[in-house]
Amino acid sequence: MTEDDRLRVLIVEARFYEGIADALTAGATAALDEAGVAYERVAVPGAFEIPAAIALAWRAGAGFDGAVALGCVIRGETTHYDYVCGESARALQNLAVDEGVPIGYGILTCETGAQAHTRADPAQKDKGGEAARACLEMIALRRRFAGPAPV
């Protein structure tokens, strides 16, 4: 397999919680490196902006086979948490269902920072690695169903 034949995955990482983003990304890049997959990283301010970044790349025909969405939302004192979690998840699901984008969902929705760190840490829950592996599975499924058109 040549460099040009390798799968290409877009990693979109929300940088609002930098330490958590770094851990999620470390897990995701390790999983993609292990699979021999090429990737490009793009940073966005927060989880709410992740779907827009993936949509921009996909609709521009940037040549990605799938995307990994990485971020974290920690519950605060207002309903902001509910809107960010719900709307970012809905938008990503719409991209996956409506446009066929293979997406690995790695946006943590946690009650506390401690929960987020445990889930992000590649040596513990490794949710970034899980999201990357889920993306690869969805790319494989998309390719399986993209065979010859029905007669």
What token pair was written down for 28? 């995701």
The rounded distance, in Å, linking the Cα atoms of 148 and 57 is 26
State yes or no: is 117 an active-site residue: no
Q: What is the C-alpha separation between 151 and 145, in angstroms, rounded?
A: 15
**Amino acid at position 91, single letter:** A
- From 33, 34, 80, 112, active-site residue: 80
Looking from the CA of 111 toward its CB, the CA atoms found within 13 Å total 0
Contact yes or no for 131/104 (Cβ under 8 A): yes
Could you list the active site residues? 80
